């Protein structure tokens, strides 16, 4: 079963903060998310306090995002467009800071990618790829009582050949 269809945490890889800032800064520079090219918004939603980021599958139930009833027609249209694409959706950005930990929240805030999470819901996906600061990811997993899963770096072991029995020697 693909990871999108499973409601579990799955860490994929560590990512440099500058990569995440550059990737989403480009989106803002192109005028996405309602900002004009050259806007002061470029990259400002990437927190500077954590240099370690992770790309991971996060259960949709553990994300605080704008639902279809809270979204306008442009976001719903964009979500439907994403939902019709084959393969995994592009990752968004989620944060789960000290305030959320202190208040006992069990959901991370979607800082970028609300329409992608909405697309995942429309497709019936139970998890979506998100960039998160590593400390936020660990804190969220602990808050919901989940287990941090990592993809295996080793290939699965081949089965051992059966030994001949002593009587056949």
Average pLDDT on 40-69 reads 73
For 15, phi then psi, to 5°, come to -135, 140
Both structure tokens of 96: 């789960």
Bin 77: left if φ > 0, else alpha if -120 < ψ < 50, else beta. Answer: alpha
Binning pLDDT at 50, 70 and 90, where does residue 16 land?
A: confident
Q: Tell me the range of 1-5, 35-39, 116-120, 161-165 where mean pLDDT is highest.
A: 116-120
Q: What is the pLDDT of residue 149?
A: 66
CA 120 to chain CA centroid, Å, is 11
Which H helix or E strand runs over 11? strand 10-16
Q: What is the pLDDT of residue 159?
A: 43
Bin 34: left if φ > 0, else alpha if -120 < ψ < 50, else beta. Answer: left
Q: Convert the pLDDT of each residue in 130-169 to its tens digit.
A: 999 888 898 899 888 877 666 544 443 444 444 555 555 5
Q: Convert the pLDDT of each residue in 76-118 to its tens digit.
A: 888 899 899 988 898 999 988 877 877 778 899 888 888 899 9
Percentages helix, strand, coil for the chain (3-state, rounded to 5) are 40, 20, 40
pTM of the model: 0.73
pLDDT at 39 over 50: no
């Amino acid at each position: 079963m693909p990871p999108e269809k499973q409601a579990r945490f799955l860490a994929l890889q560590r990512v440099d903060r500058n990569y995440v800032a550059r990737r989403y800064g480009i989106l803002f520079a192109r005028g996405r998310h309602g900002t004009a090219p050259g806007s002061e918004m470029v990259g400002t939603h990437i927190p500077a306090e954590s240099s370690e980021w992770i790309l991971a599958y996060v259960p949709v139930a553990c994300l605080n995002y704008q639902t279809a009833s809270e979204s306008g027609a442009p976001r719903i249209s964009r979500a439907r467009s994403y939902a019709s694409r084959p393969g995994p959706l592009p990752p968004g950005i989620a944060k789960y800071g000290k305030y959320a930990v202190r208040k006992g929240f069990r959901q991370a805030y979607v800082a970028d990618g609300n329409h992608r999470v909405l697309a995942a819901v429309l497709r019936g996906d139970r998890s979506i790829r998100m960039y998160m600061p590593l400390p936020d990811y660990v804190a969220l997993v602990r808050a919901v009582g989940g287990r941090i899963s990592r993809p295996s770096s080793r290939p699965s072991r081949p089965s051992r050949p059966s030994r001949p029995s002593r009587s056949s020697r």
